[in-house]
Structure 1
């Protein structure tokens, strides 16, 4: 059987699928036709997330030029689209740190709280929310300092906790998350536009849901920090035990008349990649957009499926592309290692594949940043382990050090996109030729 011409360069095919997935989630595309009508009063735009700069730019371009528009959105350092940075519009965009909050994020959160003062029932608050907002919108609850939040955030990131667990804790340490921003906006109407970066697309989890009801509790947050051995500042544990930092719950009248709209999701990005593969003559299968778990273990499972396809044409016939998304986790076992979810997944995949002929794998974070590094992800080829060995690199030892970035850097196999100005979480594509 003759293979499509795209198999002459598997790396290029995989990069193309990533680019298509990212393009599908660009705010300028997915905000078309999604903005609410101009209100009788003023329109205030508030938001946070890695896609925040691009979302603000898109809203500014789409909103009627003769209608009042103002606001403040916070995004990650370096994630303001160049055109909007060069020529700012009516919505101010500021930058702060991610994944560990900093003083700039705290200052932005304070300004957002101040902007909600004086809103009326005739006003519209347009909230632009995307992944990363939990760290970027840092407003410590009473009894907490910024340093406290930084310490807890670092501990959560190293613990292997899921995104749902991390955001449950964050909601109960914040003056804005878990629906509290919506409470501050009363009596204005609130319309929230969301780009999802979490498995299941639950708006209450994305950026810790600043404008939506929170069904989680202080008791659940307390159980999570105890499960992972995360230290809390004096007074917070007892406050949680008494329910003193509880969030607004479903059914609370403060959410009456509010709207929440998902404008881009991981599933949509995967579907766009699948269509692009099929247009090139390669059958594509979406495994799931909700895969979670330890990155290296998820890599082993993906490798087992790829080997079954390569060796037995089960459960799919080759040639084909297997696509998946979600949010895996990394339990940090060694200080000094470099890497994120994508490279950790890939090294686990490579070790399990053991040089399986005809299998090529790309994994990347769709925001363009794998963890805190300069790469979006990397690529595994059938000779990944052999080339590493030739350079004196033991892949198992590297993985044990959580140092996958340096492994793929040495091989020249990092995928570097720069900031993409969106964020629909993990993207994984396995080509079985």
Structure 2
């Protein structure tokens, strides 16, 4: 198996949790009342919206997604693009539009809301007294701190009028169905998109919420694809919940001692950034650290990537490395948080484009 085959395993996982596939399967498995409005928000919003539009072509549709992720959105949909991971003016405009649509629905109406990762930055409506500059400073501070998703969501919700169930708190209709693609540990609707598709504890409407795709589903699909090629699956864990400085030695040691076969890890690491970081994201940094851990190992290759196709504020999903990737010049790139530039110069970046999903990250290793 070569590098291209590692990418095939990655795509097997991604396609199993792609937004259109996940929503189509969920709607086929359990009936959903005809919606009077469909809202899709997140990095996978366009793909999720396609499947919902196929099922309910007459329902008005609002899509809020990341810049350059609107391709494939249904014709006739209202599409708003904004920034991620740090919000911008269009994020505020999208948040205001969400509030307008949800609060203006009729008393007997049904809302279908499709949520995927990235919604926290893509749509925001701050509490009175807080402007974009204040929100941006808070977001950048949290991202640089290495805080986990729970701490970040608590901070976001405290200053938001749409997060933590507050958006649906403005709904005065009869029923809401939320279909969510999970990008968080534990698959909690209260955490996905900072709870933008969650209902408040006190509500006067019927609420049906379902998780339609997750990291576990993606990892299972990678494992099944590996087995179909005759490869044993030696590891399949959702354990990437730590700082990359702690994860890299741990995973590296496991892989150096590993039996032949495919080793799959999932989750979402954290990273602490220095002042004025260079180019890259957590997956590119982790990939380069793992290249250091496996240097000199023959027959060991690794793919480290975000399932959404973007790693931090870059156009790369991650990287593919092996025992020959590392050299001593990489140490300075790591210190400057510039792993992306180094990996690009050495032909190791993995670029997939938007994938139509977002279920955190995958590390796929192959030991010959």
TM-score normalized by the length of structure 2: 0.94
Q: Does structure 2 conserve the Cα–Cα contact (< 8 Å) formed by 1:160 and 1:330?
A: yes
Is residue 14 of structure 2 the alignment partner of residue 73 of structure 1?
no
Is residue 21 of structure 2 the alignment partner of residue 29 of structure 1?
yes
Report SS of the residue matched to 1:378. strand
**1:51 offset after TM fit, Å?**
0.4
Is residue 361 of structure 2 the alignment partner of residue 429 of structure 1?
no
Q: Aligned equivalents of 2:204 and 2:191: distance in 1?
A: 16
Q: Aligned equivalents of 1:291 and 1:336: distance in 2?
A: 22
Is residue 321 of structure 2 the alignment partner of residue 331 of structure 1?
no
Show the 5 A alignment for 1:166-177.
166-177=152-163
Report SS of the residue matched to 1:370. coil
Q: Aligned equivalents of 1:37 and 1:59: distance in 2?
A: 10
- 2:43: which partner in 1? 50
Q: Does structure 1 conserve the Cα–Cα contact (< 8 Å) formed by 2:223 and 2:236?
A: no
Is residue 29 of structure 2 the alignment partner of residue 94 of structure 1?
no
**Which runs of structure 1 show a deviation greater than 3 angstroms over 4 or more consecutive aligned residues?**
35-39
Report SS of the residue matched to 2:176. strand
- 1:344: which partner in 2? 285
Deviation by residue 1:309-353 (Cα, 9 ceiling, x = unmatched): 1xxxxxxx31x1110111111100242411101111111112222
Q: Aligned equivalents of 1:70 and 1:301: distance in 2?
A: 49
Q: Aligned equivalents of 1:405 and 1:399: distance in 2?
A: 9
Q: Does structure 2 conserve the Cα–Cα contact (< 8 Å) formed by 1:199 and 1:290?
A: no
Report SS of the residue matched to 1:367. coil
Q: Does structure 1 conserve the Cα–Cα contact (< 8 Å) formed by 2:219 and 2:266?
A: yes
Report SS of the residue matched to 1:31. helix
Q: Does structure 1 conserve the Cα–Cα contact (< 8 Å) formed by 2:115 and 2:178?
A: yes
Q: Which runs of 5+ in 1 are unaligned?
A: 1-6, 214-247, 310-316
Deviation by residue 1:178-213 (Cα, 9 ceiling, x = unmatched): 001111112331110100111111111110012325
Distance 1:170 1:54, change over 3 A: same
Q: Aligned equivalents of 1:253 and 1:346: distance in 2?
A: 45
Report SS of the residue matched to 1:321. strand
Q: Aligned equivalents of 1:285 and 1:255: distance in 2?
A: 49
Q: Aligned equivalents of 1:254 and 1:124: distance in 2?
A: 14
Deviation by residue 1:57-102 (Cα, 9 ceiling, x = unmatched): 2211222x4xx41131210000012x43xxx434322110001111
Please identify the structure whose Cα radius of gyration is greater.
1
Q: Does structure 2 conserve the Cα–Cα contact (< 8 Å) formed by 1:53 and 1:79?
A: yes
Q: Does structure 2 conserve the Cα–Cα contact (< 8 Å) formed by 1:200 and 1:290?
A: no
Q: Aligned equivalents of 1:346 and 1:17: distance in 2?
A: 17
**1:37 offset after TM fit, Å?**
3.2
**1:256 offset after TM fit, Å?**
5.2
Report SS of the residue matched to 1:329. coil
Q: Does structure 2 conserve the Cα–Cα contact (< 8 Å) formed by 1:60 and 1:91?
A: no
Give the alignment partner of residue 298 of structure 1, picking from 240, 247, 255: 247
Q: Which runs of 5+ in 2 are unaligned?
A: none
**1:112 offset after TM fit, Å?**
1.4
- 1:398: which partner in 2? 333
Is residue 22 of structure 2 the alignment partner of residue 38 of structure 1?
no
Q: Does structure 2 conserve the Cα–Cα contact (< 8 Å) formed by 1:296 and 1:347?
A: no
Q: Does structure 2 conserve the Cα–Cα contact (< 8 Å) formed by 1:186 and 1:254?
A: no
Q: Aligned equivalents of 2:189 and 2:161: distance in 1?
A: 18
- 2:147: which partner in 1? 161
